[in-house]
Amino acid sequence: MAKKIKMRTNRSAAKRFRLTGSGKIRRSKCGGNHGLSNKNRKRLRRLRDNDTVAKCMEKRIKKLLIPYG
């Protein structure tokens, strides 16, 4: 008997996105990894906060995170 193949979560998406309790998708802002000495304090403070994914992209990303959902 052949093995059934399981659908898997996209691991690259799982590392970049998290689901909130209300079902929105949280992501970190870009630009906070290197070249930080050239960016001012206010900008670095803003980069620390998480952001939410736009509504138009939510469905696409949820499909990667929750393949059976």
The model's confidence at residue 69, banded by pLDDT at 50, 70 and 90, is low
Tell me how far apart the alpha carbons of residues 66 and 41 are, in angstroms, rounded to a whole number.
37
Overall average pLDDT of the 6-17 stretch: 93
Could you tell me the pTM of the whole model?
0.78
Domains of the chain (ranges plus CATH)? 11-65 (4.10.410.60)
Dump pLDDT digits (tens) for 18-41: 999 999 999 999 999 999 999 999
Overall average pLDDT of the 46-62 stretch: 94
> How do beta strands 17-19 and 50-52 pair?
unpaired
Residue keyed to tokens 């998406």:
13
